[in-house]
Structure 1
Amino acid sequence: MTVRLGAIGAGWWATSNHFPIFAAREDVELVGVCGKGPGLAQARETFGFGFATEDADELLAADIDAVVISTPHDLHHRFAAAALDRGLHVLCEKPMTLNAAHAWDLAERAERAGTIFLVPYGWNYKPFTAAAKRILDAGDIGEIQYVLCHMASPTRGLFGSDPTHMLERWSSQTAPDPSTWADPAHGGGYAHGQITHSSALLFWLTGLRAASVTGRVTGPGAAVDLFDAAVVQFDGGALGTVSGAATLADGDKYQLDIRLFGSEGVLMIDVERERVSLSRYDGRREEIPIAPDEGDYECLLPPARFIDLITGSSTENNSDAHVAARSVELIESLLRSAAAGGVDTTVH
Structure 2
Amino acid sequence: MTDRIKVAVLGASGFIGAEVIRLLSAHPQAEVAFMSSQQHAGKPLGQVVSGLRNSRAAGRRLRSLDELSKVDVAISCLPNGVLPKVLDDVSGQADLVLNVAGDYRLRDPEEIAQYYPGSVGGWRQDIPYYVPEFGEKPSEPVVNLPGCMASAGLYALYPLFRDGLAEPRAVVDAKTGSSGGGNTTTENPSLRAGNVRVHKLHGHRHGPEIRQALATWTGTAPELQFSAFSLPVVRGVFATAYTWLREGAGTAEVRRAYARAYADAPFVRMSNGRSPVALPMLKTVVGSNTAEVGVSVEGSRCVAVCALDNLIKGGAGQAVQAMNRVFGLEETLGLPEVGPWP
TM-score of the two chains, using structure 1 as the length reference: 0.54
Assess if the C-alpha contact under 8 Å between 1:309 and 1:315 holds in 2: yes
Distance (whole Å) between structure 2 residues aligned to residue 271 and residue 203 of structure 1: 25
**C-alpha distance 149-84 of structure 1, shift in aligned 2 (>3 A):** farther
Task: Determine the structure 2 residue equivalent to 1:261.
Answer: 244
* Shift, 1:20, TM fit: 0.7
Distance (whole Å) between structure 2 residues aligned to residue 31 and residue 140 of structure 1: 47
Task: Determine the structure 2 residue equivalent to 1:313.
Answer: 329
Which runs of no fewer than 5 residues in structure 1 stay unpaired? Answer: 168-188, 210-234, 317-348
Distance (whole Å) between structure 2 residues aligned to residue 252 and residue 7 of structure 1: 21
**Which amino acid in the other structure matches residue 110 of structure 1?**
I
**C-alpha distance 105-145 of structure 1, shift in aligned 2 (>3 A):** farther
Percent of residue pairs bearing the same amino acid type: 11
Distance (whole Å) between structure 2 residues aligned to residue 102 and residue 241 of structure 1: 24
Task: Determine the structure 2 residue equivalent to 1:57.
Answer: 66
**Which amino acid in the other structure matches residue 136 of structure 1?**
F
Distance (whole Å) between structure 2 residues aligned to residue 48 and residue 156 of structure 1: 23
1:22 aligns with 2:24: yes
**1:168-226, CA deviations, whole angstroms, 9 ceiling, x for partnerless residues?**
xxxxxxxxxxxxxxxxxxxxx956xx9455664554445489xxxxxxxxxxxxxxxxx
Distance (whole Å) between structure 1 residues aligned to residue 180 and residue 70 of structure 2: 40
* Shift, 1:67, TM fit: 0.6
3-state SS of paired residue (2:127): helix
3-state SS of paired residue (1:24): coil
**C-alpha distance 200-78 of structure 1, shift in aligned 2 (>3 A):** same
Assess if the C-alpha contact under 8 Å between 1:85 and 1:113 holds in 2: no
Assess if the C-alpha contact under 8 Å between 1:92 and 1:119 holds in 2: yes
**Which amino acid in the other structure matches residue 245 of structure 1?**
F
**1:58-93, CA deviations, whole angstroms, 9 ceiling, x for partnerless residues?**
21xx12111111222231322345433556312222
Task: Determine the structure 1 residue equivalent to 2:337.
Answer: none
**C-alpha distance 160-236 of structure 1, shift in aligned 2 (>3 A):** same
**1:24-82, CA deviations, whole angstroms, 9 ceiling, x for partnerless residues?**
112112211221345853228945499756431321xx121111112222313223454
Match of 1:244 among 216, 228, 232: 228
Distance (whole Å) between structure 1 residues aligned to residue 41 and residue 165 of structure 2: 50
* Shift, 1:312, TM fit: 1.6
Task: Determine the structure 1 residue equivalent to 2:272.
Answer: none
**C-alpha distance 120-81 of structure 1, shift in aligned 2 (>3 A):** farther
1:76 aligns with 2:83: yes
Distance (whole Å) between structure 2 residues aligned to residue 314 and residue 11 of structure 1: 28
* Shift, 1:163, TM fit: 2.8
Q: Name whichever structure is richer in helix by fraction.
A: 1
**1:217-249, CA deviations, whole angstroms, 9 ceiling, x for partnerless residues?**
xxxxxxxxxxxxxxxxxx978433222234x45
Task: Determine the structure 2 residue equivalent to 1:276.
Answer: 295
CA RMSD of aligned residues (A): 5.0
Task: Determine the structure 1 residue equivalent to 2:319.
Answer: 303
Task: Determine the structure 2 residue equivalent to 1:336.
Answer: none
Task: Determine the structure 1 residue equivalent to 2:335.
Answer: none
1:114 aligns with 2:140: yes
**1:243-271, CA deviations, whole angstroms, 9 ceiling, x for partnerless residues?**
2234x456797542222335445979996
* Shift, 1:103, TM fit: 6.2
Assess if the C-alpha contact under 8 Å between 2:174 and 2:228 holds in 1: yes
**Which amino acid in the other structure matches residue 29 of structure 2?**
D
**C-alpha distance 90-19 of structure 1, shift in aligned 2 (>3 A):** same
Which runs of no fewer than 5 residues in structure 2 stay unpaired? Answer: 47-52, 105-114, 129-137, 259-278, 283-292, 333-342
3-state SS of paired residue (2:224): strand
**1:308-337, CA deviations, whole angstroms, 9 ceiling, x for partnerless residues?**
123123799xxxxxxxxxxxxxxxxxxxxx
The count of corresponding residues between Structure 1 and Structure 2 is 256
Distance (whole Å) between structure 2 residues aligned to residue 156 and residue 131 of structure 1: 22
Q: Which has the higher contact order (CA 8 A, sep 6+)?
A: 1
* Shift, 1:11, TM fit: 1.5
Distance (whole Å) between structure 1 residues aligned to residue 235 and residue 32 of structure 2: 36
* Shift, 1:8, TM fit: 1.6
- 5 Å matches for 1:8-157? 8-38=10-40, 41-43=43-45, 46=55, 48=57, 52=61, 54-59=63-68, 62-84=69-91, 88-96=95-103, 99=116, 102=119, 108-110=125-127, 114-115=140-141, 117-119=143-145, 121-122=147-148, 130=155, 133-141=158-166, 144-153=167-176, 155=178
Distance (whole Å) between structure 1 residues aligned to residue 309 and residue 35 of structure 2: 30
Distance (whole Å) between structure 1 residues aligned to residue 116 and residue 39 of structure 2: 28
Distance (whole Å) between structure 2 residues aligned to residue 165 and residue 17 of structure 1: 26
1:161 aligns with 2:187: yes
**C-alpha distance 24-275 of structure 1, shift in aligned 2 (>3 A):** same
Task: Determine the structure 2 residue equivalent to 1:231.
Answer: none
* Shift, 1:147, TM fit: 2.1
